[in-house]
Amino acid sequence: MRALNSGKVIEEFMFHPYERNRALAASWTNCDHVDGDDEPCRIFKELYTTENLGIEWKYLTNYVFDFEWAVSKKTKENTRVHVPEDRVFITRESNNTDH
């Protein structure tokens, strides 16, 4: 587990559709430019999840554009298809290069 409250501001927050203790949160990284480094710093969005209303946060991935829980009331009521309750749809920059 990695703490989300490490000087980061939650920019986006999404509760789970029917499990009230679960949520997703996104935060932007800080731009810490290192002296002597000619490379521009990169700022990107990181995604975290919690299962206990934010007491502990688990890091999921970085360079995130958008995210959404894969489950809904409709998928839960559909008995023909099983969608895991922790499944998340994420769009991200796979090359880890863009802001």
pLDDT digits (tens, 9 = 90+) for 31-46: 765 566 666 777 889 9
Rounded CA gap, 71 and 49, in Å?
Answer: 15
Q: What range does the domain containing 28 cover?
A: 10-92
Q: Report if residue 97 sits inside a domain.
A: no
Number of domains in the chain: 1
Q: Report if residue 46 sits inside a domain.
A: yes
DSSP assigned state of 77: H
pLDDT band of 50, cuts 50, 70, 90 = very high
Q: Report if residue 99 sits inside a domain.
A: no
Q: Report if residue 5 sits inside a domain.
A: no
Using an 8 Å Cβ cutoff, are 4 and 23 in contact? Answer: no
E-strand stretches of 21-96: 23-28, 45-50, 58-61, 64-69, 88-92
Please compute Rg for the chain using Cα positions: 16
Q: Report if residue 67 sits inside a domain.
A: yes
Q: Report if residue 52 sits inside a domain.
A: yes
